[in-house]
Structure 1
Amino acid sequence: MARTQLSLASHLARLESETDFDGWRDAARRLATNDIPPEEVAWQVGHDDDDRGNDLPACRQDARLVVPREFIERAETVICHSDPERFNFLYRLLWRLRVEPKLPRKLESMEKAVWRDIHKMRAFVRFRKIGDGAEERYVAWFEPDHFIVERNADFFVRRFAGMRWTILTPHASAEWDGKRLAIGPGASKRDAPAEDDAETLWRTYFENIFNPARLKVKAMQKEMPKKYWRNLPEASLIPDLIAGADRAATAMIARMPTSPAPRHAKVKAKHWPSPEPADVVEPESTDIPALREEASGCRRCPLWRDATQTVFGEGPENADVVFVGEQPGDQEDLAGKPFVGPAGKVFDSILDQAEIDRRKVYVTNAVKHFKFEPRGKRRIHSKPNAGEIRACRWWLDKELDIIKPNLAVALGATAAQSLLGKAVPITRMRGDVIQREDGLRVFVTIHPSFILRIREHEDKEAERERFLTDMRKVKQLMAA
């Protein structure tokens, strides 16, 4: 704080640290209850050559200060922002809230910046081992944009409770000895240890799991900005991996087998003694249970080879609305039922809020087999291609022929493509009702799994509210 600003202010509020929210709140309460406007207050962290003390009045007992809980919660995060004017900004906002209960966009923007920095720290901290035996501990160097170390330290305590560690940053340090967490002063990169043996192993692992066919440079740099590269052991590999990605992808595709391994085909044969695609005939079933049975042996595209089973739709045959998802996930593939995994739980919860009874609607997927990529012991969802969507539309059309709904809800891009016969921009067409040539109305929205992929808490809640609004529109359309 410049000396001229201090001299012009009638009151000085001193805070113990850059993240002293309790101190700020106490000072703000004293100032506001005594009707002291923001322009008469100077805020300062710690002490300097100026020997002027904290001269704030006591809270007026007859004054009542009421602010939205949302402001308090957001202010506690924004106090960690690196903007030196944040204390004054928050007090000006508190002053204004007494007559205008509206939070500005700047507050939301600053809050998001802090949370983004918190997430980056959790993703890009890399520990290096120093010492052995009883002296073993792990040290990391990180350069955050904001004052987030203290707010973020509990996450690392929970994640690495069994080891002793220290995280050094220019602003502050966090140290965990296995029992007690201590927050200390900042450090310089010279205090961080040099590379250890584990990093060579990690680079070898990273280079071998790198999939050039899935590389999206802009998306990668958005999630992992270059400013973090210098502190990541794998970062030294990234430029060469990007440069050779096209060549590596071509070579990888050339190495791919054109048919499943014999042992794999043998295992599948026990479960599905299936016909060749040319032998598959048009389904003749006139009810859903019989159609489901026919679909259990579907071989119209190669996805059946790796999936556990066909996941067919379920619900009443006289349903007014059919919800069409994209494809089964890991849990749906194992259970043989649609929408029973994490996205299904979000879907059920929001249907309840929108007062839509799932027992009275039909729920299915555009693609009936789980398409995935193995990653260790996990199976990671992979988006169906146009040929797979087109092949499986055969079954979806039959479901619609039997049920004859008044409305179909396309949950996501794959569902919309299957229902409308072409790719459509979900973001632009969300909430639209499109009538097909056969008269079926199609309502376009996101897939609930999109909500689960959002990292920022505020963004996640906002998207959940948007999806709830969509489902309430569906409720109205069902009655129309």
Structure 2
Amino acid sequence: MYVATLASEDDFDGWREAARGLVAAGVPASEVVWQVGDRPTDLFGSAPILAAQAPAFRLPSAFVHMLERVILHRDPERFGLLYGLLLRVVADPRVLHDQADPVLCRVQAMFQTIRRDMHKMRAFLRFREVETDGETRFVGWFEPEHHVVRANAAFFIGRYATMRWSILTPEVSVHWDCRTLSEGPGARRSDAPEGDPLEAVWKTYYRSIFNPARVMTGAMLKEMPRKYWKNMFETALVPELIAGAQAREAGMIERARTAPVQNGAKPWDALREEATGCRRCPLWKPATQTVFGQGPLDAEIMVVGEQPGDQEDLAGEPFVGPAGKVFDEAMTAAGIERSRVYVTNAVKHFKFEPRGKRRIHAKPGTGEIDACRWWVEQERAILRPRMTIAMGATAGRSLLGRAVTVGRERGRPLALPGGGEGWLTVHPSYLLRLPDKAKADQEFAAFVHDLRSAAARL
């Protein structure tokens, strides 16, 4: 067995020199013990690392970069894992193109992990200003998951070259005096300052720009886990801002609803305007625009569909496409004046799959329905309809807050959260998909019967 001793957990240069000697001697990965400092590793590892002159061999620069980054991982097997992969690549470079190779896949996953950890340090580290012996210094605290502090130091030197700063972490601390980078031992969270006078100004600013309609909590937690919140003065506000977001929005909408109409503005204008910038789910990215509800605000009947279609997305109005035409015909047959009904959708953005030049409707997911449910609830709060007709299971889930089956709930009144009565029926797009004309005529008659029965409840 051979012992390869490295100076530190992130000693890539030491690992590279040791690997060169081992490759030159043809030592297999199973015969090498990798050791950091004088820490004991293997009782049987007694032979020193070889000093043989390594023959020249070239490696792809991207592979060398990956090796350099994966060394920073906390996995204790990484040194031997990378050496074993290096041996195989030297023997056959095609190994790097085998995406089914389990070792290569594991190393690539570790590489991505390090990239994320380095990014999080750059994005979530916050400096606080302190005065020490009449000198201003900026001190930041961070808890990286891997050994990325030294590798990241160059980024902070480039970004804050004219500042004196210190980055404290549990394993190592780095300090910059505008000329030289130095290192120190690890620190404790209590060694870092808690705040500075400017933080109160920043917190006031973040409170003022916080827009609850644009909050995507799931995406935020994915990119910025809660473990980092305690070290960032702005994120310390996030829990309370999220907790009070809907209450504040509801208050805003209630004030808009009860305020006197001025210059012909409708009470729900504030809600509609806010919805145009909705970022509660990712559907806003490919969609052309938000398609909000439409109709008289004193309507006794509110109809909720699934989502806008291709034509609705382009026009910015609900129920103007093929399904909308079927809906209009059914309303007329049911004896309901279409102009006296408020129509909207459970999801306000068009979800689709591109196929050539066409955009094919895709069913909204549970998360997208739940994210958009708040808008439907506020529409109902403003209109206060006596009857709300849900067309399809998506609309039913939006109104009831749970999964529903049209066949089970259809044809009977449903008590809705927040008051009012609901009625569940099919979506008119279902009728368009029926290939048999006799069946389609039968289902259309049933749809008309549902609409007529719901209106009769008034």
Any idea what the Cα deviations from partners look like across 1:27-58, whole Å, max 9, x if unmatched? Answer: 11110121100111011111246999882223
User: Residue 184 of structure 1 aligns to a residue in which SS?
Assistant: strand
**1:148-227 → structure 2 map (5 Å cutoff):** 148-227=148-227
Any idea what the Cα deviations from partners look like across 1:368-392, whole Å, max 9, x if unmatched? Answer: xxx889xxxxxx9997213698589
Q: Aligned partners of 1:139, 1:442: CA distance in 2, in Å?
A: 54
Deviation at 1:171, TM superposition (A): 2.1
Deviation at 1:249, TM superposition (A): 2.2
Give 1:23's match in structure 2, choosing from 14, 17, 23.
Answer: 14
Does 198-207 or 222-231 show the bigger shift?
A: 198-207
Contact between 1:34 and 1:59, CA under 8 Å: does it hold in 2? yes
Equivalent AA in structure 2 for residue 94 of structure 1: L
Matched, 1:58 2:42: no
Give 2:289's match in structure 1, choosing from 368, 384, 394.
Answer: 384
Contact between 1:14 and 1:54, CA under 8 Å: does it hold in 2? no
Q: Aligned partners of 1:256, 1:381: CA distance in 2, in Å?
A: 30
Q: 1:77 to 1:423 in 2, by over 3 A?
A: same
Q: Aligned partners of 1:205, 1:115: CA distance in 2, in Å?
A: 31
Larger-Rg structure: 2
Deviation at 1:105, TM superposition (A): 1.0
Equivalent AA in structure 1 for residue 230 of structure 2: R
Any idea what the Cα deviations from partners look like across 1:167-211, whole Å, max 9, x if unmatched? Answer: 101122121112222233322223212333222332222222211
Which residue does 1:118 correspond to in 2?
118
Equivalent AA in structure 2 for residue 59 of structure 1: A
Contact between 2:69 and 2:111, CA under 8 Å: does it hold in 1? yes
Contact between 2:206 and 2:234, CA under 8 Å: does it hold in 1? yes
Q: Aligned partners of 2:220, 2:65: CA distance in 1, in Å?
A: 31
Contact between 2:290 and 2:313, CA under 8 Å: does it hold in 1? no
Any idea what the Cα deviations from partners look like across 1:124-162, whole Å, max 9, x if unmatched? Answer: 111112117941111111000011111111221222223
Which residue does 2:78 correspond to in 1?
86
Q: 1:16 to 1:255 in 2, by over 3 A?
A: farther
Any idea what the Cα deviations from partners look like across 1:89-132, whole Å, max 9, x if unmatched? Answer: 10011122224632411111101111101111111111112117
Any idea what the Cα deviations from partners look like across 1:379-422, whole Å, max 9, x if unmatched? Answer: x9997213698589479xxxxxxxxxxxxxxxxxxxxxxxxxx9
CA RMSD of aligned residues (A): 3.8
**1:128-139 → structure 2 map (5 Å cutoff):** 128-131=128-131, 134-139=134-139
Which residue does 1:243 correspond to in 2?
243
Contact between 1:139 and 1:192, CA under 8 Å: does it hold in 2? yes
Deviation at 1:442, TM superposition (A): 3.7
Matched, 1:141 2:141: yes
Any idea what the Cα deviations from partners look like across 1:259-295, whole Å, max 9, x if unmatched? Answer: xx99xxxxxxxxxxxxxxxxxxxxxxxxxxxxxxxxx
Percent identical among aligned pairs is 41
Q: 1:126 to 1:223 in 2, by over 3 A?
A: same
User: Residue 145 of structure 2 aligns to a residue in which SS?
Assistant: coil
Matched, 1:423 2:328: no
Q: 1:54 to 1:156 in 2, by over 3 A?
A: farther
User: Residue 49 of structure 2 aligns to a residue in which SS?
Assistant: coil
Equivalent AA in structure 1 for residue 178 of structure 2: G
Which residue does 2:268 correspond to in 1?
none
Which residue does 2:395 correspond to in 1?
none
Q: Aligned partners of 1:186, 1:383: CA distance in 2, in Å?
A: 51
Uncovered stretches (5+) of structure 1, i.e. residues with no partner = 1-9, 263-304, 306-370, 374-379, 396-421, 434-440, 445-480
Which residue does 1:44 correspond to in 2?
35
Q: Aligned partners of 1:25, 1:237: CA distance in 2, in Å?
A: 45
**1:224-235 → structure 2 map (5 Å cutoff):** 224-235=224-235
Equivalent AA in structure 2 for residue 26 of structure 1: E
Contact between 1:372 and 1:381, CA under 8 Å: does it hold in 2? no
Uncovered stretches (5+) of structure 2, i.e. residues with no partner = 97-103, 264-272, 279-284, 293-307, 317-348, 361-458
Which residue does 1:282 correspond to in 2?
none
TM-score, normalization by structure 1: 0.52
Contact between 1:79 and 1:86, CA under 8 Å: does it hold in 2? yes
Contact between 1:215 and 1:245, CA under 8 Å: does it hold in 2? no
Q: Aligned partners of 1:16, 1:54: CA distance in 2, in Å?
A: 18
Contact between 2:72 and 2:114, CA under 8 Å: does it hold in 1? yes
Any idea what the Cα deviations from partners look like across 1:229-268, whole Å, max 9, x if unmatched? Answer: 222223432222221111122334567799xx99xxxxxx
Q: Aligned partners of 1:381, 1:174: CA distance in 2, in Å?
A: 44
Q: Aligned partners of 1:383, 1:117: CA distance in 2, in Å?
A: 35
Equivalent AA in structure 1 for residue 169 of structure 2: T
Does 136-145 or 206-215 show the bigger shift?
A: 206-215
Q: 1:382 to 1:207 in 2, by over 3 A?
A: farther
How many residues are aligned here? Answer: 285
Q: 1:372 to 1:160 in 2, by over 3 A?
A: farther
Equivalent AA in structure 2 for residue 13 of structure 1: A
Q: Aligned partners of 2:223, 2:36: CA distance in 1, in Å?
A: 33
Deviation at 1:66, TM superposition (A): 4.0
Q: 1:382 to 1:210 in 2, by over 3 A?
A: farther
Which residue does 2:419 correspond to in 1?
none
Q: Aligned partners of 1:173, 1:216: CA distance in 2, in Å?
A: 34
Contact between 1:11 and 1:40, CA under 8 Å: does it hold in 2? yes
Equivalent AA in structure 2 for residue 37 of structure 1: P
Contact between 1:168 and 1:186, CA under 8 Å: does it hold in 2? yes
Which residue does 2:398 correspond to in 1?
none
Equivalent AA in structure 1 for residue 228 of structure 2: Y
User: Residue 234 of structure 2 aligns to a residue in which SS?
Assistant: helix
Q: Aligned partners of 2:58, 2:146: CA distance in 1, in Å?
A: 29
TM-score, normalization by structure 2: 0.54
